[in-house]
Amino acid sequence: MLHWRHSCSMGEDPAFIVDDLQNQIGFENEFGSKFKGCKTTTTIGDKTYVIGGGNDESTLPVEVRIFDKATGNWVTPIVLGSKPNSCKGLSAISLNDDRILIVKKGSAPDDCILFLELDTWFVREQKKIRGTEVVAWSKGVRGDAEKPVVISGPSGVGKGTLISMLMKEFPSMFGFSVSHTTRAPRGMEEDGVHYHFTEQSIMEKEIKDGKFVEYASVHGNLYGTSIEAVEVVTDAGKVNISVPPFLGQSILLCYKQLWIPIVVAINHIKSLFSKKKDLNLIKILASANSKCFSKKLIDYILLFHLGLQRCILDIDVQGARSVRASSLEAILIFICPPSMEELETRLRSRRTETEEQILKRLQNAEVEMEQGKSSGIFDHILYNDNLDDCYEGLKKLLGIDGAAAATQISVPQGIDLPSDHSVSKMDNKIIINYGTPELEKASKSLIVLDVSSLKGGAPGRTRGLDVYAID
Ligand SMILES: Nc1ncnc2c1ncn2[C@@H]1O[C@H](COP(=O)(O)OP(=O)(O)OP(=O)(O)O)[C@@H](O)[C@H]1O
């Protein structure tokens, strides 16, 4: 028996309980045949969205069906975006009628909040293309992750050189997305490491589904960057950290003028930060005054826990245009040569292209320069005349030109979503109440999700979610 309440905004009619609605409109048989485990219902206009997941005992995939009151029909929509992992139950509440916020039970803290988009720009576009009912999932992410960075510009301008300099100085801060390709793997190439090797028909469908920020056909094979691949890099700092050998060293923290030496072992650090009770320590680490014997150590710890890895993309102007049109909120930087003559000199002195290729690249460069400077695709233009000056300019744009970067870190909090809870909405705040149902105690334990600053969305992540607990 479920007792998760789905309430309307404060001041509106009282909340209803899922079971009541099922009985009211006689969904029981339909649910029984299509869904196992828990299901929630959210009604917006004529449509009732039935979202099913697991229950206390079992873990099941999250499914979506729609009951259209106007026609009296059930619709199984095309479901786009990054599909949620199975869960042990869920709770749902509508936000502004264009998306439903889902809180998953029994999920990792970074995987418990999802958005089912019903009428966002992406979903509307997909409905137009397909002429059928479409919904899209988007994973909710707390705080503002670092935006992906696109470095674009004509061939030979120095994009690769600048990115290599960044990677060398900040090895843990940036990551590349893994591209997709339909060509066969060569030699030691590994699937998911060098490329996501895929089939033509699958990739074509995924392009149609809006899952790629950019793609191109080269010599009969498709190549492309998926939104998921970019998002995964941003998430990756939390899980895919390679622990450096010096992690067992001491670190020295400065917190409120007090220097605290801490000696930590590798495994201890890993377990330490996976526990909620040690969040204070993370807070200390994240504080602007953190200092350590090895600066790298702090970099790695912060990345490990705060997911600061930032995706950097080196793409041509056409690809940059696609990124601008996508839901990825990237920073787009155009690198401009001091002159076409200098660009030609650089291309020739690199000695990596044939004469024919050089001429083709120079021809393309004319168009790219025009688009780069005037099309409104790019947020910033950097002139790569003196390499060191340009690099300094790039670091400044990315906010990593001084010690200031660490001060911008916001510390996430874990959510241990209890099995018995109710969800309600008040303005831009979603309140998860897991106190006892009696009114006098109901305010005891609350988790508040502030959704006033949401950004991004399907087919990528929805970022900007603020979460805090009130005891
Ligand atoms: N500011 C600079 N002054 C002089 N040479 C430079 C400068 N920046 C880069 N170079 C040189 O120009 C050549 C081209 O640079 P790079 O390979 O980084 O260009 P790119 O934009 O990545 O090209 P592509 O798109 O073809 O990969 C390299 O030999 C590099 O060392």
Burial class (CB in 10 A: 0-12, 13-18, 19+), 461: buried
Is residue 415 one of the residues assigned to a domain? no
Whole-number pLDDT of residue 383:
96
Closest-lying ligand 1 atom to the alpha carbon of residue 361: 26
Question: Residue 188 is part of which domain span?
Answer: 149-237+310-408
Is residue 414 one of the residues assigned to a domain? no
Instruction: Choose the most confident range, by mean pLDDT, from 34-48, 254-268, 343-357.
Output: 343-357
133 plus 159 within the same structural domain:
no
Q: Whole-angstrom distance between the N-terminal and C-terminal Cα of the chain?
A: 27
335 plus 190 within the same structural domain:
yes
398 plus 452 within the same structural domain:
no
Last residue in a domain, options 253, 281, 306? 306
Question: For residue 253, is pLDDT > 80?
Answer: no
Is residue 255 one of the residues assigned to a domain? yes
118 plus 231 within the same structural domain:
no
Closest-lying ligand 1 atom to the alpha carbon of residue 161: 18
269 plus 395 within the same structural domain:
no
Q: Does residue 350's CB lie within 6 angstroms of at least one atom of ligand 1?
A: yes
Check if 186 is active-site. Answer: yes
209 plus 154 within the same structural domain:
yes
Q: Does residue 393's CB lie within 6 angstroms of at least one atom of ligand 1?
A: no
pLDDT in tens, 392-444: 999 999 887 753 343 333 334 445 566 666 788 888 888 887 655 554 444 45
| 275 or 77: which leads in pLDDT | 77
Question: For residue 35, is pLDDT > 70?
Answer: no
401 plus 440 within the same structural domain:
no
Phi-psi region of 397 (alpha: psi -120 to 50; beta: other; left: phi over 0): alpha
252 plus 386 within the same structural domain:
no
Is residue 349 one of the residues assigned to a domain? yes
Q: What percent helix, strand, coil does the chain show, rounded to 5?
A: 35, 30, 40
Question: For residue 468, is pLDDT > 50?
Answer: yes
Q: How far is the CA of 159 from the centre of ligand 1 (A)?
A: 6
Whole-number pLDDT of residue 172:
65
Helix (H, G, I), strand (E, B) or coil at 146: coil
Q: Does residue 307's CB lie within 6 angstroms of at least one atom of ligand 1?
A: no
Which band of pLDDT confidence, cut at 50, 70 and 90, is reported for residue 241?
A: very low
Last residue in a domain, options 285, 306, 327? 306
Q: How far is the CA of 74 from the centre of ligand 1 (A)?
A: 58
What value does the mean pLDDT of the chain take? 75
Is residue 225 one of the residues assigned to a domain? yes
Q: Does residue 364's CB lie within 6 angstroms of at least one atom of ligand 1?
A: no
439 plus 354 within the same structural domain:
no
Lowest-confidence region among 10-19, 114-123, 160-169, 457-466 = 10-19
Q: How far is the CA of 343 from the centre of ligand 1 (A)?
A: 8
81 plus 104 within the same structural domain:
yes
Q: Which amino acid is at 440?
A: E
Which residue out of 65, 183, 186, 351 is catalytically annotated?
186
339 plus 195 within the same structural domain:
yes
Q: Does residue 317's CB lie within 6 angstroms of at least one atom of ligand 1?
A: no
User: Rounded to whole angstroms, how far apart are CA atoms 272 and 245?
Assistant: 18
Q: Token pair of 470, please?
A: 């009130």
Is residue 413 one of the residues assigned to a domain? no
Whole-number pLDDT of residue 245:
33
Which band of pLDDT confidence, cut at 50, 70 and 90, is reported for residue 15?
A: very low
| 16 or 318: which leads in pLDDT | 318
Last residue in a domain, options 387, 408, 429? 408
Mean pLDDT of 347-353: 92
User: Could you give the number of structural domains in the chain?
Assistant: 3
CATH (domain of 402): 3.40.50.300
289 plus 327 within the same structural domain:
no
Among 150, 159, 161, 369, which is best to mutate for testing ligand 1, by the most ligand atoms less than 8 A from CB? 161
Closest-lying ligand 1 atom to the alpha carbon of residue 353: 26
Check if 321 is active-site. Answer: no
Closest-lying ligand 1 atom to the alpha carbon of residue 162: 18
Mean pLDDT of 209-214: 88
Q: Does residue 160's CB lie within 6 angstroms of at least one atom of ligand 1?
A: yes
ipTM of the complex, rounded to two decimals = 0.99
Whole-number pLDDT of residue 4:
34
CB under 8 A, 24+ apart: contacts of 162-168: 162/335, 162/384, 162/387, 162/390, 162/391, 162/394, 163/312, 163/314, 165/391, 166/312, 166/391, 166/394, 166/395, 166/398
Which residue out of 99, 361, 461, 463 is catalytically annotated?
361
Whole-number pLDDT of residue 381:
96
